Chains A and B, each alone.
Chain A
Amino acid sequence: MLLRAVLGIAFLGVAAVSSAGPIEDQIKFRQGAYTFIGWNTNKIKAQLDNPDSFSKEEVIAAANAIAAAANSGLGALYGPGTDKGEGFRKTRLKSEFFEKPEEAKKVALQFNLEANEFAKVAATGDVGQIKAKFGKLTQSCKSCHDSFREKEAK
């Protein structure tokens, strides 16, 4: 017990310097964040698909939730070695993520940009604009998936 505690603290100490904890935790936080983002994009999509159910307040809440998650510093969850390992399930992050840091940074920042842009547009309640920006937002998800996410579980 004591040994485990000591090791745990030592490990945390090392990890805290560079990232958000042990590899499994980083992956788990990551998966949690994107699942949460997915819930919110689904809510928006359901409302855009069926205009009768459109609620400005609800779209704003979802858009703000996505922006908050995007701005929470997700980059800290992509420490070295997190292309392998298990959070809630096995990670599908490709090793290319670490081999092409410039491209990785580009798609990551694109997502942040689109999430913030989307939150701004959501606040206006303009359905046409929301639809257009939602397309941009989901496209930023897709461009990262296309480059850095395995098509299926490793």
Chain B
Amino acid sequence: MVKTIQVWDVPIRLFHWGLVVAITVSVISIKTNLIDNQWHLYSGMAITALLSFRLCWGMIGSHTAQFRQFWPRLSALRAMLKHEWQGVGHSPTAALSVFALLGVLVWMIATGVCADDDISLQGPLAHWLVDWVDASVSDQASAWHAFTFNVMIGLVSLHLAAIAYYAWVKRNNLVPAMLHGKQQVTPALTDQYAQQTAHDHNHFYWRLSISVVIAAVITLVLFNTQVQSWLYAPPTVLVVPASTQAW
């Protein structure tokens, strides 16, 4: 007999699908002319917020979200390869994928905020770097940002390929669980899982609020030039006032 349990909580599911949307907007805004490339900045902000939230939630979130719970261990990986691994949440190989994707996205944000396409798109720290450090740092960041895009596409493809493999070969469609959060498991695992998640409801909203606030602060600080341009008029230093335009 199988039992249905809650495996992914609401914040994790929102994070996952939010990331899907934000990355899609990011790629479309930079690779095509369908939408203004200003959207690359907005989606970058969204990804920064989502990522910083996920990093917090990985430390103080629900059981299946916690990094220390699915931290890749050699013993678990070996068991996985021998088809002996049993558990709820990220499997050992999935865990590798999660850490790789999170790492690459952090790197994309880190280089993206420093990048400058020298045409019409500047990361929020690009001007600061050019003024106070060196323009070559910004150029280097742009090059890394462009290169890491390929790595990211590779990892996302691998992620999708794994989902397809599970659905078609192992007859286990993982997508619905990421939509409604539920998964069917054996009774033995259910008991074990119930113990592990016993504390998931403790201070849930407190932990959620703390994570959201930290994510918001990181995003607003990193993108403060963008935020300022919303709050006040954008810096108009480049624009010559009409009165001095005569010459």
Contact = CB atoms under 8 A, between A and B. Distances in A.
B126 to A, nearest CB: 12
Contacts of B117: 142, 145
A8 to B, nearest CB: 31
A53 B233 CA distance: 8
A55 B245 CA distance: 12
Main secondary structure of the interface of A (DSSP, over half): helix
B242 interface: yes
User: Interface size bucket, B side?
Assistant: 20 to 34
Interface string B195-235: 00000000000000000000000000000000001000111
Interface stretch (A14-22, A44-52, A71-79, A115-123): A44-52
B120 A45 contact: yes
Contact of A53 (B136, B139, B239): B239
Given A50-B234, A135-B33, A152 B239 contact: no
B238 A46 contact: yes
A152 B119 contact: no
A62 B7 CA distance: 57
B142 interface: yes
A48 to B, nearest CB: 9
A151 B148 CA distance: 13
Interface in B19-60: 33, 36-38
Given A138-B120, A151-B146, A152-B143, A53 B236 contact: yes
Given A135-B36, A152-B142, A152-B143, A41 B242 contact: no
Interface string B126-166: 00000000001001101100110000000000000000000
Interface in A123-137: 131, 134-136
Contacts of A58: 239-240, 242, 245
27 contacts: A38-B119, A41-B119, A42-B120, A42-B238, A43-B238, A43-B239, A43-B240, A45-B120, A49-B38, A49-B229, A50-B233, A53-B233, A53-B234, A53-B239, A58-B240, A58-B242, A135-B37, A136-B33, A138-B37, A138-B120, A141-B119, A145-B117, A145-B119, A151-B142, A151-B143, A152-B140, A153-B136
